[in-house]
Structure 1
Amino acid sequence: MTSADDPFGRHPVRVGDMFVERAERIIDALLESRPGLAAAAGDHRYDDRLPDWSTDHVAADREMLREAGDALAEVDPESLPVAESVDHALLSALVDRELFESTEIRAHEWDPLCHNPGMLLHALLARPYAPAEVRLTHLAGRLAAVPDALATARRTLSDIPRIHAETAVGQFLGTAALIRDQVPVLLAEAPTLRGRVEPTARAAATACAQFADWLRAGPAATAEPGRDPRLGRRRWEARLWHTLDTELTAAEVQRRAWANLERVTEEIRAAAAELVGGPTDDETVRRALDLLAAEHPDDHTIVELASVTLDEATDFVRAHDLVTLVDDPCVIQEMPEFARGVAVAYCDSPGALETANVPTFYCIAPTPSEWPAHRVESFYREYNDHMIRNLTVHEAMPGHFLQLAHARRYAGGSPVRAVARSGPFVEGWAVYAEEVMVRAGFGGLPVRLQQLKMQLRMTLNALLDQLTHCEELAEAEAMALLTGRGFQEEGEAAGKWRRALLTSTQLSTYFVGYSEVAEIAAARPVGVSVRRWHDGMLAHDCPPPRHLRTLLGI
């Protein structure tokens, strides 16, 4: 037992036991104060809660993080076995990152997207981890908390960047629609709870719609641009350090990105000339991409196409013995409205602590209904049949879906890796998986061209991220860079510019993660098969690549 003065068990015990005990208590405290982290990890103890951004709770949370950091600092990692030493580093980095976010970035004070309950509500509605009665009981708690949570958001938010306000309007209206449309569907499975759930659902949907109206009438409508969404070099570089957990500096990341852009440009020119003939120049690349762009899905067929390509990719991985497959379910569906406006697709996988047999969701966003025909056409020229094949490799097979299915099978001495997953490793593996598949012949030259275009995209992501937040890159310059050097359709480039302003440092995880994961893959020992090495890379959950090198003995 621990006392209120000693929340993380700081009493004399054997060093290894001390770390595991403290790690478990720290993780419990993190999950209790962060229902979103708990939900992502698959821990359902806090499924009736929403994040608490009140002043008192934020202050108490910061004190908890400081105490957790002090407790971890008392453990000598060099006295621990390798796996636990890595876990110590991961948990220490997570605690430091959360404290940095709370004290330096303070996004809950200016970013309304932080206050959107949509994903936490969707998790209860969409994933059948428990009977409908259990999920509805939890859902009632979350729904009941929505009005007060959004009242806190109104008191807390100030100086909101206009682009964040505009995006949040659509997302909150999407959350209101989710409540109105999907809660009755789940209630049909447990009608005895209708009297308890329906009133809270109506109040929550109304609160979300009113919050969208508040944003629309204020931050999204004002002539003033609001807070600059750019972090500036000092805060961006500090956040990058926490995000990447790498030894690379921001300057080195940018240097490597420019060099990689040159390398991949030469490769895509050569591949384009092979497809359509002509000189190895940018004009030939555009002719080749135009040819492939003509073969594309639409809003009615994109989900079906993704399903077909998932089957194709799975058969290909099996036939070429690239990595061990799993029998976990993967459901492809339209991206819920509350989640749209940032990325075109995402993989929503069960957490590592999830014990129920529940599916992974591979979500794709169709075009918004208000888009004009030319913008829809531009979107599907970018996400043509061949690009969807490459996208499915990234998001599903053998990318995120397979990667995270392997991660859930990791069983360590503590739950650290279930909550401290590395974004650079996750994204790096998915980008590396694209390369593995095309080199083995998946999709032939058309998919190879799309994969090289994606290599350009992920490289430009890192440049756009840094140039936008640190060097005042203008929108016109960004669009010229993305459409010129990246051969992107105008709609894709415009969406990426928005994403760079809406997020910071996440766009750098693709390039840095890919670079480090590819280096580890290239270190495959002589006599070890590709499948065995890939399985080994995925056998340790999702640690930062520098720690994966240690775990693999590189």
Structure 2
Amino acid sequence: MKRIFLCAIAAAAVACNNGNGNARQGAADSILNLAFSNYEQAFIADLWKENPDWATNVGYHNYDTVLIVPDSLSRQADLQFVARHLDSLKAYPLDKLTDANKIDHQLISNYLQSVQWSVNTEKSYQWNPSSYNISGTFAFILNENYAPLETRLRSFAARLKNVPAYYAAAKSQVVNPVPELTALAIDQNMGGLSVFQKDFADSLKKTTIPAVEQAEMIAASKAAVQAVTNYANWLKALKPENPRSFRLGKALYDAKFNYEIQSSYPAEQIYDSAIARKAFVHGEMAKISRSLWPKYFGNTAMPADSLELIGKMIDTLSANHVKPEEFQSAIEKQLPALISFIKEKDLLYIDPSKPLVVRKEPAYMAGVAGASISAPGPYDKGGNTYYNVGSLEGWPKDKAESYLREYNHYILQILDIHEAIPGHYTQLVYSNQSPSLIKSILGNGAMVEGWAVYTEQMMLENGYGNNEPEMWLMWYKWNLRTVCNTILDYSVHVKNMSKEDAIHLLTKEAFQQAAEAEGKWKRVSVTSVQLTSYFTGYKEIIDLREAYKKQEGEKYRLKAFNEKFLSYGSAPVKYIRELMLSH
């Protein structure tokens, strides 16, 4: 790679010998950027070979038949991949690249360093049993219509052959696992068994695959089910004397934050900003609650304590919610109204050709969040985007009531804005249209989550909800969730916050229902850093919008800002900021 690059530069120098120095430099830089673009393609091809599951899920299907066994040999291969490409990147000086290529260079470098850190330092493969879970990719192959059913089923069957070896390797890697992650691994692996036990067999019946071949496929599927079940049973029987805490600790947390969030600020500074934001939001909520009090409580004495006042007002408004059996249908009905509002206010172009399908959350995804988006990858742009909604089926009445009070009439609308339109669904559609494949596949979570949070505020600023104080109060409550996600995550993993203090923060200071708070405690027990992405990205986008508005002056248009911001793909906000403010 280096030799090719040097030859290209030499050729450019000869070709431009009769011109001035600036022309020669310009030609050399142009060739360098062309060489980098070619390198990107080689990197991506190598990336998919190294990560076949990831490839399948972004729509690159050359490796659908491959299931890598996660053992020491595969980790050694990962480190060799990292070393090879970190060396290749040295051939492309950042200051000689275009702005767009500079971002791609930084994204690739960050990804490679994060893999190296994960293998050598974090070592979660030893203590996180939930990282071993095959169900998701198998379900993707089965459910997505990117190829004829028979082709997909044969890929599915080929992958099945390595499942027993996969879980044998998992058992050999797991040492002193975190109890909370062990429980999650059991739930998710067992929850995914229906993909192999029922869905695969049902799909086979719809094909003309010969009976003998089908019998072999079913046998391989049964062997896979046995391997998954054995792994879950093995985990259940595992009783480490001194189990590792789920808390990362400051050193691991700071490093993980830097790699995953890619913020302009360190983790501790974001935490401090969240503390300040919490105080501001409490102040705004108190003002609104005082103004609403007579409407809902008449002449009843108003509580002197502002948090008590806010809590009573929120509690009263939360009684307005759908029935448990109407939760999913209410979400489906809300989406067309959001699209109409965006068109009416001319806030952003929404591509009508990209389908959004609301579905019950698959069992293999259960246990982390109540609602999420699963979008097609950059190679599968015509695929469905799924809005996964957690089911309330079988919930005790009191638990369901608590959950629905949390996702009440107002919050459910804000949830739809965040998860779907113009939040995650819309942003991911734009991301897949980005000319940079790197920005799509190495998308920055803080930008993605930050955009979703930003759109909530943006919609209300433009009159969504008719500027009702009730809607604003509930949005501030929802925004407080974003803020407290950061406070909670940092406090738990770095400051050793207890469950009791965490529940107090969420219920008394963030006004969340008990069921929501319990769910968030579970989430912070099985994830780390990701919860900070919402507030970090939101803060950086709002700051950027203000700077861009000031720079544009009278030329500023909100739609232009939104579409220009999204046009850069899912890049870290700090890099998008550099580009938007430099042109």
- The TM tier, using the shorter chain, reads over 0.9
- The amino acid of 1:437's aligned partner reads M
* Correspondent of 1:312 among 328, 332, 337: 337
Percent identity between matched residues is: 26
1:435 matched to 2:457? The reply is yes
Give the alignment's Cα RMSD to 1 decimal: 2.0
* 2-structure distance, mates of 1:140, 1:448: 52
Contact 1:175 1:205 in 2 (8 A): no
Cα separation, 2, equivalents of 1:204 and 1:39: 19
Match of 2:93 among 73, 76, 82: 76
Post-superposition CA distance 1:83-117 (Å, at most 9, x none): 11121111111111122112211222221111111
Deviation at 1:489, TM superposition (A): 0.9
Aligned 8 A contact 1:110 1:157 in 2: yes
For 1:400-439, what per-residue CA distance to the aligned partner results, in whole angstroms no more than 9, with x for missing partners? 0011101111113xx3212211111000000001111122
2:310 to 265, 282, 285: 285
Matched, 1:421 2:443: yes
TM-score (norm 1): 0.93
Question: Could you give the per-residue CA deviations for residues 24-56 of structure 1, whole angstroms, max 9, x where no partner exists?
Answer: 222222222112322343211222223431111
2:544 to 520, 523, 526: 520
Shift in Å, 1:264? 1.0
Local SS of the residue matching 1:332: strand
Per-residue CA deviations over 1:477-524 (Å, capped at 9, x if unaligned) read 111111111011111111111211211111111111100111222223
User: Counterpart amino acid of 2:362?
Assistant: P
3-state SS in 1 of match to 2:65? coil
2:218 pairs with 1:198: yes
**Partner residue of 2:563?**
535
Picking from 337, 347, 368, the partner of 1:342 is 368
> Residues of 2 paired with 1:10 and 1:59: CA distance?
28
The SS at the match of 1:46 is coil
State the secondary structure of the residue aligned to 1:331: strand
Counterpart of 1:269, as a letter, is A
Q: Give, in angstroms, the shift of residue 283 of structure 1.
A: 2.5
CA contact (8 A) 1:176 1:204 kept: no
User: What amino acid is the match of 1:150?
Assistant: Y
Give the secondary-structure state (helix, strand or coil) at the position aligned to 1:333: strand
1:375 aligns with 2:399: yes
* Count of residue pairs the alignment pairs up: 542
Deviation of 1:181 after TM superposition, in Å, equals 2.9
Question: For the Cα contact (< 8 Å) 2:410–2:471, is it kept in 1?
Answer: yes
Point out the structure with the larger helix share. 2
Q: After the TM superposition, which residues 380-459 of structure 1 pair with which residues of structure 2 at under 5 Å, given as runs? A: 380-412=404-436, 415-443=437-465, 444-459=468-483
Letter of the structure 1 residue corresponding to residue 397 of structure 2: A
Alignment of 1:52-451 (within 5 A): 52-192=69-209, 194-219=214-239, 224=241, 226-277=243-294, 278=302, 281-327=306-352, 328-355=354-381, 357-367=382-392, 369=394, 371-412=395-436, 415-443=437-465, 444-451=468-475
SS of aligned partner of 1:300: helix
Distance 1:165 1:74 in 2: 43
Superimposed CA distance per residue, residues 227-256 of structure 1 (whole angstroms, 9 cap, x where no aligned partner): 111111011101111112122122211111
Kept in 2, the 8 Å contact 1:360–1:401? The answer is yes
CA drift of 1:298 comes to 4.4
Distance 1:21 1:196 in 2: 42
User: In 2, are the aligned partners of 1:171 and 1:338 still within 8 Å (CA)?
Assistant: yes
Q: Secondary structure at the match of 1:204?
A: helix
Task: Measure how far apart 1:9 and its partner are.
Answer: 7.1
Quote the Cα distance in structure 1 between the aligned partners of 2:166 and 2:93: 40
Counterpart Cα distance in 1 of 2:53 and 2:190: 20
1:475 touches 1:497 (CA, 8 Å); kept in 2?
yes
Secondary structure at the residue paired with 2:159?
helix
Contact 2:451-2:538 within 8 A present in 1 as well: yes
Quickly say closer, same or farther: Cα 1:145–1:292, change in 2 above 3 A.
farther
| Contact 1:177/1:205 (8 A) holds in 2 | no
| Structure 2 residue 67 is the aligned partner of structure 1 residue 45 | no
Paired AA for residue 229 in structure 2: A
TM-score normalised by length of structure 2: 0.89
Structure 1 segments unaligned to the other structure (5+ residues): none
